[in-house]
Chains A and B, each alone.
Chain A
Amino acid sequence: MIKLDNVTCGYVKKPVQQGITFEIEEGDVLMITGPNGAGKSTLLKVLASILNPTAGTVVYGWPSAEDPRKFIGYLPDSLSIYRSMKVKDLSELHWNAFGVKPQPLPLLAEASIEKESRVSELSLGQRVIFHLSLILSTHPRLILIDEILHSVDVHLRNLALEALVRTMADENPTVVMVNLNYTEIEHLVNRVVFLTREGILLNETAENLTNSRNMTLSDILAENMNSIYSKKRQEVSE
Chain B
Amino acid sequence: MLSINSGSAVPVYEQLKRQIRLGIVSGRYRQGCRMPSIRDLAAKLKVNPNTIAKVYRQLEVDEFLVSKAGSGFFVEHSPEKLEQTRGELLCDLAEEFITSAVELGASPEVIKNTVQKRLEESTYHDKA
Chain A residues positioned under 8 Å from B46 (CB to CB): 161-162, 165, 184-185, 187-188
Interface size class of A (residues with CB under 8 A): 20 to 34
Partner of A187, one of B9, B38, B45: B45
Of the candidates B4, B7, B49, the one having the most CB atoms from chain A within 10 angstroms of its own CB is B49
Chain B, residues 39-56, CB within 8 Å of chain A (1/0): the string is 100111111111100000
> Which residues of A1-47 are within 8 A (CB) of B?
27, 29
Partner of B9, one of A27, A165, A183, A216: A216
For B37, give the chain A residue with the smallest CB separation: A169
Is B9's CB under 8 angstroms from A215's CB?
Answer: yes
Interface size class of B (residues with CB under 8 A): 10 to 19
Is A188's CB under 8 angstroms from B48's CB?
Answer: yes
Q: A19 to nearest B CB, angstroms? A: 30
Cα A189 to Cα B46 in complex, Å, equals 10
Interface: A170 (CB within 8 A): yes
Interface: B12 (CB within 8 A): yes
Q: A165-B42, A168-B42, A210-B11 are in contact. Are A189 and B6 (CB under 8 A)?
A: no
- Which residue numbers of A lie inside 8 Å of B, CB to CB? 27, 29, 161-163, 165-166, 168-170, 183-190, 207, 210-211, 214-216, 218
Task: List the 8 closest pairs (A to B, CB-CB), nearest first.
Answer: A169-B49, A169-B39, A162-B43, A187-B47, A165-B43, A165-B42, A166-B43, A188-B48
